[in-house]
Amino acid sequence: MTVINFGYLNGSVYPSNATLLINGTEYKAQNGSFNISLAPGTYEVMLSSPGFETVKRTVTIEALRTSSLGKIILPRPPFLSPLVIAVVVAAIIISILIIASLYRFKHRGA
C-alpha cells in the first residue's frame, strides 16, 4: 500500500468569492481564504473572478508542509485597454481628416 503524504496550499484572495483553478481543478475560496490539501508536486494556480483580471502563480507543494500564496488582490482591468486606446486614436485621426477635407473644400474657390 502506497501512502501519500499530502501538503497544503493556503492563502487569501480578494474578491472573497474568487475561483481557484489548480491544474484545471476548480476550488472556491471560503470568505476569501483557502487551505487546500494537495499531493506533492508543482501546480499552476489561476485565481479569477468576474470583473477582475486573472492572476497566475506556480507553486511547489512538498509532503507534510504548507505553502502559502499570501494575500492576493485581483486587479481590476485597466480602463484604457489597448482596444479602447486604438479606437480613440482612430476617431481622432478620422476627425482631423474630415476637418481638413472640409477646410480645403470650403477654401478651394477663394
Instruction: Give the pLDDT confidence of 37-91 residue by residue, as tens digits.
Output: 999 999 999 999 998 999 999 999 999 999 999 999 999 987 766 777 788 889 9
| CA-atom Rg of the chain in angstroms | 26
Confidence tier at 18 by pLDDT (50, 70, 90): very high
- pLDDT averaged over every residue in the chain: 91
Return the half-sphere exposure (C-beta side, CA atoms, 13 A cut-off) of residue 57.
20
Please check the confidence at residue 15 and state whether its pLDDT lies above 70: yes
The pLDDT value recorded for residue 10 is 97
Nearest to 5 by CA among 36, 43, 40, 35: 40
Percent of residues, the chain, with pLDDT higher than 90: 68
